[in-house]
Amino acid sequence: MATSIWIAKLLGPVLLVAAIPMLTSARDLHEVAREFLKSRVLIYVTGVLVMVGGLAIVNKHNIWITDWPIIITLFGWAMIIGGGARVALPSAVRALSRY
């Protein structure tokens, strides 16, 4: 459980700060997304970073219990899948976007 709390303390503030522009300046965030999706290099590099983060979480915290720590595990697996998709299929990621 100590690992769960440590990872939650790491991810919580990052997700909170990332949510602020979603609530306060959605128009600016849409422009950032448009610019991001124009660059296959950015899609690829962020895919690698996200996948590494997801692997770090899952390697340390692959806990499948019916309690709140499963959220961290699911988040890690989502990062692996999302990052892997960006690395393996950057053009498909661009095509799937609405920008």
**By the 8 A CB rule, do 40 and 51 touch?**
no
pLDDT at 98: 67
Burial environment of residue 86 by CB neighbours within 10 A (0 to 12, 13 to 18, 19 or more): buried
- What is the pLDDT at residue 51? 98
pLDDT of residue 69: 93
Which residues, other chains included, contact 56 with Cβ-Cβ below 8 Å and sequence gap of 6+?
76
Give the Cβ contact number of residue 3 at 10 Å. Answer: 13
- Quick one: pLDDT at residue 95? 87
In the chain, which residues have pLDDT < 50? Answer: none
pLDDT of residue 1: 74
